[in-house]
Amino acid sequence: MTPAADAFPVHRAEIGGIGITYLREGIGGYPLLLLHGYPETKRIWWRNVRPLADAGFEVIVPDLRGFGDSDLAVDDRYDVAAHARDAYALVHDVLGHAHCATASGDLGGVVAQDLGLRFPGFVERQCLFNTVLPYIAKEYEAAGIPVERDRSKHPEMDYFMRQATDADGLAAELDTPERRRAYIADFYGHRFWAAPGTFSRDDVAFMTEPFADGAKLRASFANYEYATGNRIAPEMVHLFEKNPIPTLVLYGPEDHVVTGDFVPRSEVAFTERVGPLIVPGAGHFLQWERADILNQALKYFLRR
């Protein structure tokens, strides 16, 4: 059963002049940082927080800057390094943890990979699913894995190109809370990011509510602008090398945006890994769609 919308108290920390909101359950356990992606907020982890806290973890679930209940960035930065620095400041500086583990997909997976390499030794283990993998084309090609050079031609990537290259125009079209929520609802429905039937109408309403705010929706598009150079990140992302952090790799095959080449590429990208393991009945939102499998996998992967 999914917990109620108000099941967990929401905390707030001031980080670099930005209010970052987060959940914190199971205080005193091993710190486990759960990072959401797009089009998500901390709510995507609602089915994971209580089981993982009960398993002995201190579960920390922030809204990234510009998402959910967190503030917009005072410096207008929404690049991966900025998100990673916020996460480090929250877990290390505010909550006082020298180390943690992470679990994440989509944008959160990129942030987690950067976090672990930007702050060596901080992330002891990580779980990744349905996310962007390191840009190491030569290594993939050497392993016999074809590298897609221009995915913009794929029809399922239309949202990516519009958000990345015409964010202001798209935001102007989505000029009411209802239109903004309907736009986000598509990702949980007919775009087939998720396995059919894994999000009810009430679930979709819960996930889309934070995106009714026009400024927050526009801020979420900025993450795509960096990917195409329409915004220039002031810091290089740590995503151009193999990743040595011990990693549990999962893949939800019902995903129509992160395609099946994720599986062989992840075998090359992570030098210390378990998997990749295929999770049946899951797509892009694996933590919600098959929370039972993810929760159990994390309990065993992170046992000390």
Read off the pLDDT of residues 255-304 as tens digits, 9 standing for 90 and up: 999 999 999 999 999 999 999 999 999 999 999 999 999 999 999 999 87
Cα 275 to chain centroid distance, Å, stands at 19
CA dihedral sign of residues 17, 119, 288, 265: positive
Residue 149 has a pLDDT of 59
* Confidence tier at 67 by pLDDT (50, 70, 90): very high
Cα–Cα distance measured from residue 288 to residue 285, given in angstroms and rounded to the nearest whole number: 6
Q: Transcribe 85-97 into DSSP letters.
A: HHHHIIIIIIS--
CA 174/CA 261 separation, integer angstroms:
33
Residue 102: which of 113, 94, 117 has the closest Cα? 113
Task: Give the global pTM.
Answer: 0.97
Q: What is the pLDDT of residues 160-178, one digit of tens each?
A: 999 999 999 999 999 999 9
**What residues contact 134, with CB distance under 8 A and at least 6 apart?**
113, 239, 240, 241, 242, 243, 269
Q: Which domains can be identified in the chain, with CATH numbers?
A: 11-150+234-301 (3.40.50.1820)
The answer, yes or no, to whether residue 151 has pLDDT greater than 70, is no
If we measure between CA atoms, which residue out of 233, 224, 209, 227 comes closest to residue 76?
Answer: 233
Strand pairing category for 18-25 and 11-15: antiparallel
pLDDT at residue 77, as a whole number: 96
Based on its alpha-carbon atoms, the radius of gyration of the chain, rounded to whole angstroms, reads 18
The answer, yes or no, to whether the previous bond of 276 is cis (omega within 30 of 0) is: yes
Average pLDDT over the chain, rounded to whole? 95
